[in-house]
Amino acid sequence: MRTAHSVETVRAAERALMAELPEGALMQRAAAGLAAACADLLPRVYGARVVLLVGSGDNGGDALYAGARLARRGAGVTAVLLAPERTHEGGLRALRSAGAQAVPVDGAAPVVARADLVMDGIVGIGGKGGLRPDAARLVSLVRESGALVVAVDLPSGVEADTGEVLGDAVRADATVTFGTYKPGLLIDPALTYAGAVRLVDIGLSLPPAPDLEALQYADVAALLPEPGASSDKYRRGVVGIAAGSATYPGAAVLAVAGALRGGAGAVRYVGPAADEVLARFPEVLVHAGPPSAAGRVQAWVVGPGIGDDAARVADVLAQDVPVLVDADGLRLADPSVLRGRTAPTVLTPHAGEAAALLGVSRESVESGRLSAVRRLAAEFSATVLLKGSTTLVAPAGGGPVRVNPTGSAWLATAGSGDVLSGLCGALLSAGLGGVDAASVGAYLHGLAGRRAASGAPASASDVAGALPAVWRDVRG
């Protein structure tokens, strides 16, 4: 599991550790890791031209000490001081005694133009708001130079706690972060500014519950349901799909496709697309009448392509088993019924649906995805999976938000969400909790999207078709 902690938590852990260590020791650990990462990125350190962008805080201090280390190994290092009168004093002394030079911002253009590597030490976790104008100008010079950009702790200009980017920000090829990931390094849009992230251990003791976590292969493998020797189809989980309409039968077919590949023992389908579903998947049990009359089901998926059939949504929500609500279902569900449910509820909105649920603009959801997903989970007492280029999953009762690391732009294709809802529904029916079902589903779905596409457009059916292979990969 990859974990991220908020700025407040990081600062508290830093204070505790600094109290035990000699003055400056923590910054030396950070600078040593930073210098080593830069050295790895450069073809050779000796003779490399390194430029440090140095702001007024300790983030600039890290850059100065790391620059001093590289200068001692023969790099030509120049620091550009954004606030010369407030530069980290010890760092600047170290830099000068290593034989490197410092210039003010207005002398930056010629050195930046010739740089091989630029270290961004403008701001770290102390930054607020986007880059200020002089820093933004400097950063556009860096972009024009084509130099490799290494962000110190996080790209300057991105919000560490939320992943928002409120103005200009540094676009880094790599980020060297200290102690723990910061939430912004796992969430877009900030994530897309960070490049490859390297974590440097500086010895912080952090609380066991992070603010954010991202499942990795092994975590997903451990969560995948496996049929035991005594499993029959009912014990493996029966998932009910209440989806599709005369206008949108395809949504039903795709949700069923996701459910069948999600390890369900059996899939029941209720709705007007039964013929279309059976034509593709003869193994599905179809039922006429309301979902509640369909027989035993361990979890329901309701909503994809359901049109205006509010009665089908209400009937599903009245059942005391886990329910995943998607698409039209999100518009039709009664919020007070959602809040009053005792069995787990999972909502899977995209940004537009999330905006409608919260009564805010789509833009405000897009720019503040972490706060939006947390708010939704709290307001509807449900696990919420917010789709996007990094899908987020927030638990109903608060706690770490899961970030899906396997997203793929190829998944932005019609019907791909229907496959995801069926897949997550099957995982719910197999007994996974809401957060695990949603985050494992998102993980597999992302991998399936990548595998189905592998460089060329793929349809939602292709994504469903790729699920067995990624399941095998993850388990293997």
Ligand X SMILES: NC(=O)C1=CN([C@@H]2O[C@H](COP(=O)(O)OP(=O)(O)OC[C@H]3O[C@@H](n4cnc5c(N)ncnc54)[C@H](O)[C@@H]3O)[C@@H](O)[C@H]2O)[C@@H](O)CC1
Closest separation in Å from C-beta 369 to K ion: 22
Task: State how far the Cα of 257 lies from the Cα of 280, in Å rounded to an integer.
Answer: 9
- For residue 108 the two structure tokens come to 């930056």
Q: How far is CA 149 from CA 27, 41, 94, 124, 196, in A?
A: 21, 10, 22, 15, 11
Which tokens go with 294? Answer: 């369909």
From K ion, ligand X, none, which one binds at residue 178 (CB under 5 to 8 Å depending on kind)?
Answer: ligand X
Query: Could you say which of 4, 30, 98, 187 contacts ligand X (CB under 6 A)?
Result: 30
Contact partners, residue 158, CB within 8 Å, separation at least 6? 127, 164, 165, 169, 184, 189, 190, 193, 194
With the C-alpha atoms ordered 458, 463, 464, 468, is the resulting torsion angle positive or negative?
A: positive
Closest to ligand X by CB, 77 or 202: 202
d(CA 279, CA 277): 5
Residue 155 CB, shortest distance to ligand X, in Å, is 11
Q: Which stretch binds ligand X (CB under 6 A): 121-129, 345-353, 379-387, 447-455?
A: 121-129
Nearer to K ion, 42 or 169 (CB): 169
- Report which residue type is found at 344: P
State the DSSP code for 75. -
Figure out which of the listed residues 84, 90, 126, 290 binds ligand X, where binding follows CB under 6 A.
Answer: 126
Q: What are phi and psi of 120, to 5 degrees?
A: -95, 100
Q: Which residues are annotated as a binding site for K(+)?
A: 59, 120, 156
Q: How far is the CB of 55 from ligand X (least distance, A)?
A: 5
Residues within window 176-215 making contact with K ion, judged by CB under 5 A = none
Q: For residue 68, how far is the Cα from the chain centroid?
A: 35
Question: Does residue number 125 form part of the binding site for ligand X (CB under 6 A)?
Answer: yes
Q: Which is nearer to ligand X, 21 or 246 (CB)?
A: 21
Sole binder of ligand X in the list 33, 67, 91, 127 (CB under 6 A): 127
105 counts as binding ligand X under rule CB under 6 A: no
Q: Which of 247, 224, 260, 234 is nearest to 422 (CA)?
A: 260
User: Minimum distance between the CB of residue 38 and ligand X, rounded to whole angstroms?
Assistant: 14
Could you list the beta-strand ranges (E) of 122-173. Answer: 148-152
Q: What are phi and psi of 155, to 5 degrees?
A: -65, 130
For 366-375, which contacts have Cβ atoms below 8 Å and span 24 or more sequence positions? 367/164, 367/165, 367/166, 367/189, 368/162, 368/164, 369/163, 369/187, 369/188, 370/161, 370/162, 370/163, 370/183, 370/187, 370/212, 370/401, 371/162, 373/401, 374/398, 374/401
Q: Closer CB to K ion, residue 77 or residue 152? A: 152
Answer for which of 33, 55, 329, 425 binds ligand X (CB under 6 A) is 55
Residue with Cβ nearer K ion (151 or 186): 151
We find the least distance from the C-beta atom of residue 155 to K ion, in angstroms, to be 6
Give min distance, CB of 419 to ligand X, in A.
40
What does 302 interact with, of K ion, ligand X, none (CB < 5 to 8 A by kind)? none
Nearer Cβ to ligand X, position 118 or 264? Answer: 118
Considering the rule CB under 6 A, would residue 124 count as an interface residue with ligand X?
yes
Least CB distance to ligand X at residue 279 (A) = 58
Binding-site partner at residue 127 among K ion, ligand X, none, CB < 5 to 8 Å by type = ligand X
Which helix (H) or strand (E) element contains residue 269? strand 266-270
Instruction: Kindly identify the residues of this chain, within the stretch 141-170, that bind K ion according to CB under 5 A.
Output: 151-152, 156
Residue (202 or 239) nearer to ligand X, CB: 202
Per-residue contact string for residues 117-146; x = within reach of K ion by CB under 5 A: ---x---x----------------------
Q: Is 203 in the site for ligand X (CB under 6 A)?
A: no
Q: Which does 120 bind (CB under 5 to 8 A by kind): K ion, ligand X, none?
A: K ion
Rg (CA), the chain: 26
Q: 3-state DSSP call for residue 175? A: strand
Could you tell me which of 429, 407, 430, 405 has the C-alpha nearest to residue 417?
407
Residue with Cβ nearer ligand X (28 or 404): 28
- Residue 184 near ligand X by CB under 6 A: no
CA distance 144 to 305: 47
Q: Which stretch binds ligand X (CB under 6 A): 49-57, 111-119, 296-304, 349-357?
A: 49-57
The span from the CA of 16 to the CA of 205, in Å, is: 8
Site for ligand X in 57-86 (CB under 6 A): 57-60, 62
* Partner interacting with residue 472 (select from ligand X, K ion, none; CB below 5-8 Å by kind): none
Pick out residues in 333-372 that bind ligand X (CB under 6 A): none
Strand-strand pairing, 392-394 and 401-403: antiparallel
Q: In Å, what is the CA distance from 289 to each residue of 90, 308, 314, 357?
A: 76, 17, 14, 29
Applying CB under 6 A, which of residues 116, 120, 153, 326 lies at the interface with ligand X? 153
* Closer Cβ to K ion, 160 or 297, answer by number: 160
For ligand X, the binding residues (CB under 6 A) are: 14, 18, 26-27, 30, 55-60, 62, 123-129, 131-132, 135, 152-153, 178, 202
For K ion, the binding residues (CB under 5 A) are: 120, 124, 151-152, 156
